[in-house]
Amino acid sequence: MDHEPAFFETSPKPGVVGMPLNRVDGRDKVMGKAKYSAEYPLPGLVYGVLKTSAIAKGRVQSIDTSLAMKEPGVLQILTHLNLPKLAKTPNDPEGKKAIGAPMGFLPLTSDVIYYAGQPVALVVADTFERATQAAALIRVNYAAEAPIAAYTDKRAQIFNPEKIQDGKADGYTRRGDARAALAGAPIKMTAVYTHAINHHNPMEPGATTAIWEAPDRVTVYESTQGVTRTQKALSAYLGLPQDQVRVITKFLGGGFGCKGSCWPHTVLTVQAAKMVGRPVKLVLTRPQQFTSMGHREDQTQTLTLGASKEGKLLALIHEKTSTTSPWDNYAEANSKIINLLYECPTFESHYELGRANVMTSTFTRAPGEAPGSFAIESSMDDLAYQLGIDPIEIRLRNYAEKDPSTGQPWSSKSLRQCYARGAELFGWSKRNPKAGVTKNGRLLVGYGMATASYPVHNSQGTARVRLYADGHAVVQAGATDLGTGTYTVMTQVAADSLGLAPDKIRFELGDTKLPTAPNSGGSVAAGTVSSSVYMAAQDVWERLTKMAIKDPKSPLFKAKAEDVAMENGRLQLKKDASKGEDFKALMKRAGIDDIEGSGQGKYGSGYEAGQSAANASDAHKDEAGKHSMHSFGAHFCEVQVDPDLGTVRVTRWVSVHGAGRILNAKTARSQIIGGSIFGIGAALMEATARDPHYARYTNADLGDYHIPVNADIPDMTVEFIDEHDPYINAMGVKGIGEISMVGVSAAVANAVFHATGKRVRDLPITPDKIL
Ligand code: MOS
């Protein structure tokens, strides 16, 4: 870094930020006082239960609800025959989806069945049990057709989309002439990687509680990662102004991306509540969770690389084929990470989609980066073995000093330190470079590593700070806390920004009535919301400073605003700390009980807006937009493989990341552990089986969809590189929700190769693939 990062002058002085504070909401959670979206005991509350399609393709020929309607307590049954018309459906003729609508199709808007598990009815009854019983009594006659289960079906329509993710990324990318470079490369390698369908499976399933307060005013308690995005989607569906749709999410039991959008069950529950004129609550069953909120798509990646004999990359060609729904062009953008992880002069990527009778897949933790890194990080390992170069060394030989995909300099990058520190903590130097020879008794031992990276996405949000003369503050932002610590870290940021103790701060989130914050998704919440909170506190200090310098009784009377700083809740002269006063004294003299400030935190604006801009030297004000902003890290994995049973056990784990400022050492460590475990699940056990003939999931429950349990996971070592990034935002926070799982499956697969000499490129690595 060629200059001092100016934000350090303005960001909170060292205090509780970074400290391993316990969760501020932890006590409420273990006491059962934290209310999740399905836990509001509203007067007159009734229960919604979905009836879902048994077939994956065809039509509802007839639907007989007469028996179900006769059940005691049944109030209403919604079907495609009586669903009130919405102002907008996602499949409107103009083809434009509502913001936050993840699918271009809404069930119950016609008799057509596109996927198994598609809702065909929603029963509302006075108890959950009665609604469930009534749903079972609905008789549906289907005109069934043979479905297509996946892109691998020969009948599937395969095409090259111009855009994937419905317009958010290009279906084709080219940098230089990769084909020519490959032709001239001394080393050529092509490998095919497959990834199973994965489901997010948050502990708390999708849940909606809808209350109409007036014919044109609704409140929805929703299990969502973004109250504003849900509000926008619902207001479009319902044709209501946004301020007449209130969305509240105080606590979330995980999400991992599946709660990043407004899915059909939410819209249908809101409509049901309107029809019955009572609050309706709907909670997805675990099997319904598998067909209601998206998934990580089944996919094949073909990665071709050309390299010199010294292991220097010359060409990368990435091709991906994956399954999508009958209406959407959604694919995770795997190629983005492959295009920037290493210095390589040429790059080419193509996406292919195959239409099948499935719902649209969606963001799943590190969408694109997680499976993309599996391909590139496995292939780099392959290349290292082929050339007899250490896996870390080959990565250093291809170290990207700037972003190869854009040519921009990095805003910061500590990957070298991550490799070095990770290797040291792990004991990488003890590794015998030969595969298949290290043993622990009869078990084969393997060491593997992989690089991680995740972008710092563009985002912005607003926060409000209200500071009271009695020395406490209420801080608000319409953010959500997935369970990972937003309440806690924002309390810390507010405490330091205001010079107060954390217990003097009440941080409120999860309500569209609060200032708008982004989705807790794409790893943007920590950086954006913390910067908003910090900027809002700065706004408060500016207001108080103005008051002080106009107040003849203040020691700061007639001081210049730029000469005044806040230190531990005290306004004082920068040059003479003895000249100043506590904010409480100032406010009491002025006779005001509280003072409010608001601030906007943005990514890519470390030097913009408010005081952080004021403190930046002119030379650096415009630089933020010229940098490529990413986190980097490295995972190290030891496995022990049973050569007779083919079972793989992860026995040691080390992760080291450089992700800007870390707001809370404890919750950050937990994030990395959680993401790594998520990745170990994808690497070794997670797979949803979609029957090739019926296009139905055959293991849609937590008994048969295997996720890691404590016994599968060793003690994990997590460290962060002390990284100061002056460009990304006012707080210098990059976010760690998703980088935690990038590279994980490759680290495991590379360790399996080192243990066994067997390269498994099909996830998950189940025993049958080892033997
Ligand atoms: Mo994340 S997959 O952006 O919720």
How would residue 95 be classed by pLDDT, with cut points 50, 70 and 90? low
> How is residue 43 written in tokens?
């007067």
Task: Kindly give the number of the ligand 1 atom that is closest to the alpha carbon of 520.
Answer: 4
Query: Given this model, what pLDDT does residue 7 score?
Result: 37
Per-residue pLDDT tens digits for 346-360: 999 999 999 999 999
Sign of CA dihedral 550, 552, 558, 564: negative
Residue 587 banded pLDDT, cuts 50, 70, 90: very high
Nearest ligand 1 atom to the CA of 258 is 4
Sign of CA dihedral 598, 604, 606, 609: negative
Q: What is the pLDDT of residue 371?
A: 98
**Could you identify the atom of ligand 1 that is nearest to the CA of residue 257?**
4
Expressed in angstroms, the distance from the first to the final Cα of the chain is 50
Cβ(363) – ligand 1 distance below 6 Å: yes
Q: Report whether 230 contacts 98 (CB < 8 A).
A: no
Q: pLDDT tens digits for 648-689?
A: 999 999 999 999 999 999 999 999 999 999 999 999 999 999
225 lines ligand 1 (CB under 6 A): yes
Q: How far is the CA of 257 from the centre of ligand 1 (A)?
A: 4
Q: What is the dihedral of CA 526, 532, 535, 537, to 10 degrees?
A: -90
pLDDT > 90: what percent of the chain?
A: 90
Nearest to 212 by CA among 279, 295, 153: 279
- Ligand 1 atom 4: the closest Cα is on which residue? 257
Q: What is the mean pLDDT of residues 132-140?
A: 98
For residue 624, pLDDT over 50 is answered with yes
- Burial label for 598, CB within 10 Å (0-12, 13-18, 19+), is middle
The sheet with strand 594-602 has its strands ordered as 505-508, 473-476, 460-468, 594-602
**Whole-angstrom distance, CA of residue 37 vs CA of residue 248:** 8
Count of other CB atoms within 10 angstroms of residue 647: 16
Local confidence band at 690 (pLDDT 50, 70, 90 cut-offs): very high
Whether ligand 1 lies within 6 angstroms of the CB of 257 is answered as yes
**Ligand 1 center from residue 521 Cα (angstroms):** 4
pLDDT band at 5 (very low <50, low <70, confident <90, very high): very low
Residues 755 and 249: their CA atoms lie apart, in Å, by 46
Tell me how long the chain is: 771
**What is the distance in A from the centroid of ligand 1 to the CA of 738?**
7
Residue 685 has phi, psi (to 5 degrees) of -145, -25
39 classed as catalytic: no
Q: What are 711-756's pLDDT values in tens digits?
A: 999 999 999 999 988 888 889 999 999 999 999 999 999 999 999 9
Q: How many CB atoms lie within 10 A of CB 83?
A: 21
3-state per-residue secondary structure call for 142-180: EEECCCCCCCCCCCCCEECCCEEHHHCEECEEEECCHHH
The predicted pLDDT at position 352 comes to 98
Is 367 near ligand 1, meaning CB less than 6 Å away?
yes
Measured from the Cβ of residue 188, the count of other Cβ atoms closer than 10 Å reads 14
Q: pLDDT digit string (tens) for 528-582?
A: 999 999 999 999 999 999 999 999 999 999 999 999 998 888 999 999 999 999 9
**HEC per residue, 636-702:** EEEEEECCCCCCEEEEEEEEEEECECCCEHHHHHHHHHHHHHHHHHHHHCCCECECCCCCCECCCCC
Taken in order 584, 586, 592, 596, the sign of the CA dihedral is negative
Under 8 Å between Cβ of 481 and 442: no
Spot the catalytic one: 581, 638, 686, 738. 738
Residue 256 C-alpha to ligand 1 middle, in angstroms? 5
DSSP-assigned beta bridge partners for residue 142: 60
pLDDT at 615 over 50: no
Digit-coded pLDDT (tens) for 508-534: 999 999 999 999 999 999 999 999 999
Residue 242, phi then psi, degrees to nearest 5? -55, -35
pTM, full prediction: 0.95
Lowest mean pLDDT among 109-113, 419-423, 602-606: 602-606
Q: What is the spatial distance between Cα 100 and Cα 247, in angstroms, rounded to a whole number?
A: 13
pLDDT at 58 over 90: yes
260 pocket-lining for ligand 1 (C-beta < 6 Å) = yes
Q: Report the nearest atom of ligand 1 relative to the CA of 521.
A: 3
CA of 758: how far to CAs of 684, 743, 752, 762, in Å? Answer: 15, 19, 7, 12
The Cα–Cα gap between 423 and 638 comes to 12
Choose which residue among 252, 738, 741 to substitute to test ligand 1 binding: the one with the highest number of ligand atoms within 8 A of its C-beta: 738
**How far is residue 422 from each of residues 427, 433, 608, 715, 717, measured CA to CA in Å?**
8, 17, 35, 15, 9
CA of 168 to the centre of ligand 1 (A): 15
Index of the ligand 1 atom closest to the CA of residue 365: 2
CA distances from 431 to 435, 756, 758 (A): 10, 14, 17
Q: What residue type is assigned to position 580 of the chain?
A: G
- Residue 447's DSSP bridge partners are 638
DSSP structural state of residue 621 = T
Dig out the tokens for 61 from the structure.
Answer: 């020929």
> In ligand 1, which atom is closest to the CA atom of 225?
4
Ligand 1 centre distance from Cα of residue 200 (Å): 10
Residue 385's pLDDT is: 98
The chain-wide mean pLDDT, for the chain, equals: 94
Please tell me if the CB atom of residue 488 comes closer than 6 angstroms to any atom of ligand 1: no
Q: What is the C-alpha separation between 515 and 497, in angstroms, rounded? A: 18
Contact residues for 273 (Cβ-Cβ < 8 A; gap 6+): 210, 211, 212, 218, 279, 280
Query: Which among 284, 127, 122 is positioned nearest to 200, based on CA atoms?
Result: 284
pLDDT digits (tens, 9 = 90+) for 357-386: 999 999 999 999 999 999 999 999 999 999
Q: Is the pLDDT of residue 23 over 90?
A: yes
Ligand 1, residues 332, 363, 481: which to mutate, most atoms within 8 A of Cβ? 363
Domains of the chain and any CATH numbers: 7-34+459-602 (3.30.365.10), 46-146+203-289 (3.30.365.10), 366-457+627-770 (3.30.365.10)
pLDDT of res. 607: 39
pLDDT on residue 166:
83
Residue 457 pLDDT more than 80? yes
Residue 109: which residues within 8 A CB-CB, separation 6 or more? 80, 83, 86, 89, 91
What is the tens place of the pLDDT at every residue in 397-451? Answer: 999 999 999 999 999 999 999 999 999 999 999 999 999 999 999 999 999 999 9
Region of 69 please: left (phi>0), alpha (psi -120 to 50) or beta: alpha
**CA 655 / ligand 1 centre spacing (Å):** 20
Q: What is the pLDDT of residue 107?
A: 97
> How close is the Cα of 340 to the center of ligand 1, in Å?
20
Q: Is 521 in the pocket of ligand 1 (CB under 6 A)?
A: yes
Q: What is the pLDDT of residues 460-478, one digit of tens each?
A: 899 999 999 999 999 999 9
C-beta of 114 in contact with ligand 1 (< 6 A) = no
Indicate which atom in ligand 1 lies nearest the CA of residue 737.
1
Find out whether the beta carbon of 202 lies less than 6 Å from any atom of ligand 1: no
